[in-house]
Amino acid sequence: MGVDAPLGDFGDVLFYSALAVYILAMLLHAVEHGLLRRAEPAMAEVPVAVAVGARSESSVPTTGDDAPPRPSRPLSERFGRMGVSLTVLGFALHLAMLVVRGVAAGRAPWGNMYEFTAAVCLVGVGAWLVVLYRRPELRRLGVFVLLPVILLMFLGGTVLYTQTAPVVPALRSYWLAIHVTAAVISSGILLFAGVASVLYLLRSAHDRTGRMAWTAKLPGAQVLDRVAYRATAVAFPIWTFAVITGAIWAEAAWGRYWGWDPKETTAFIAWVVYACYLHARSTAGWRGQRAAAINVVGFAVMVFNLFFVNLVVTGLHSYAGVG
């Protein structure tokens, strides 16, 4: 099947459009963060019980001219809501880019580092939107989630960019749609989890020392820790599946399940680090900052595996060409 070059070029336009929208969304979230005076308790519960015999305000008739005026939203919330709307728009453009790229190439749209990075960022933004749908009060994290996504997409669109083309023979296998898809999904969720752990460490440092006043506008440290843990707990089984299917694919392609190739070794190290994090997070003596530090190390290993191993180290996985 041939490559539809014009359609692939349109996919690139969608990619840069999504990047531009993400930048605007990040700026709006930055304005929101700047307008916030302090972080409100993210886990605060709305009181629902009233004294016996007392009438709640919601039970008072509010019809006609007696209805109290609806309170206007704070300016920070308005900017935050616009940032979320733009993030959703950017996500839609981002998703359309990968679909168009896949149709143009006639394959799964993650056959090179440009496409893989774009797909990981898409999952990272998707994970953030899912969390935001469940916990709207975490909207103030938007600027910090979008920043690494924008940086990765900028690198993907410049240094890692590759024109639409068929994959090399080593990748012409149905395992591309299994192994790499699992790696994309888990890496994107772990990207979000890593950001949450970094913010947790910064917020904890502020709670101890009072420094870095801007971190006081973040959600509470316990909330950030819980978000990072749950995201990692979701991503870890998927990453485990990616490692296992990678070994099966290696046996089919190279005649062995494991050969300590740099890519295989680094992926296994990342798996061990995240396993240690989940274990540490469930151990009383290692909860909190120690566990979060392990999660940040795991995130660093994933980034090292994505860039250094693919671009610098030569191994059997050095086929996802750049340029």
Q: Average pLDDT in the 203-223 region?
A: 82
Does residue 204 surpass a pLDDT of 80? yes
Residue 66 is given by DSSP the state G
Confidence of residue 166 (pLDDT cuts 50, 70, 90): confident
Confidence of residue 47 (pLDDT cuts 50, 70, 90): very low
List of residues 6+ apart from 81 with CB closer than 8 A: 73, 139
- Report residue 108: phi and psi, to 5°: -65, 135
Does residue 250 surpass a pLDDT of 70? yes
- Report residue 38: phi and psi, to 5°: -160, 165
Confidence of residue 170 (pLDDT cuts 50, 70, 90): low
pLDDT for residue 300: 93
Confidence of residue 186 (pLDDT cuts 50, 70, 90): very high
Confidence of residue 225 (pLDDT cuts 50, 70, 90): very high
Q: What is the per-residue pLDDT across 260-269, written as a single tens digit (0 to 9) for each?
A: 778 888 899 9
pLDDT for residue 59: 45
pLDDT for residue 103: 93
User: Own/partner pairs for 38-46, CB < 8 Å, 24+ apart?
Assistant: 38/216, 38/217, 39/140, 39/216, 39/217, 39/218, 39/219, 39/220, 40/137, 41/220, 42/135, 42/137, 42/138, 42/219, 42/220, 42/223, 43/220, 43/222, 43/223
Q: Average pLDDT in the 77-99 region?
A: 95
Least confident stretch, 6-15, 116-125, 168-177: 168-177
pLDDT for residue 264: 83
Q: In angstroms, rounded to a whole number, what is the distance separating the alpha carbons of residues 318 and 18?
A: 28
- Report residue 44: phi and psi, to 5°: -65, 135
| pTM of the predicted model as reported, rounded to 2 decimal places | 0.84
Q: In angstroms, rounded to a whole number, what is the distance separating the alpha carbons of residues 31 and 43?
A: 23
Q: In angstroms, rounded to a whole number, what is the distance separating the alpha carbons of residues 244 and 268?
A: 10
Q: In angstroms, rounded to a whole number, what is the distance separating the alpha carbons of residues 261 and 272?
A: 16
Confidence of residue 275 (pLDDT cuts 50, 70, 90): very high
Does residue 259 surpass a pLDDT of 80? no
pLDDT for residue 36: 78
Q: What percent of the chain stands above pLDDT 90?
A: 49
Q: Which pair of tokens denotes residue 120?
A: 């990981």
pLDDT for residue 40: 46
List of residues 6+ apart from 78 with CB closer than 8 A: none
Confidence of residue 231 (pLDDT cuts 50, 70, 90): very high
Q: What is the DSSP string of 6-65?
A: HHHHHHHHHHHHHHHHHHHHHHHHHHHHHH--S---TTPPPP----TTPPPGGGS---GG
Between these two residues, 71 and 85, which has the higher pLDDT value? 85
Does residue 26 surpass a pLDDT of 70? yes
pLDDT for residue 1: 54
Does residue 68 surpass a pLDDT of 90? no
Between these two residues, 146 and 258, which has the higher pLDDT value? 146
Q: Let me know: does 117 contact 94? Beta carbons within 8 Å.
A: no
Between these two residues, 89 and 177, which has the higher pLDDT value? 89
pLDDT for residue 177: 83
Sign of CA pseudo-dihedral 318, 320, 322, 323: positive
Mean pLDDT of the chain: 83
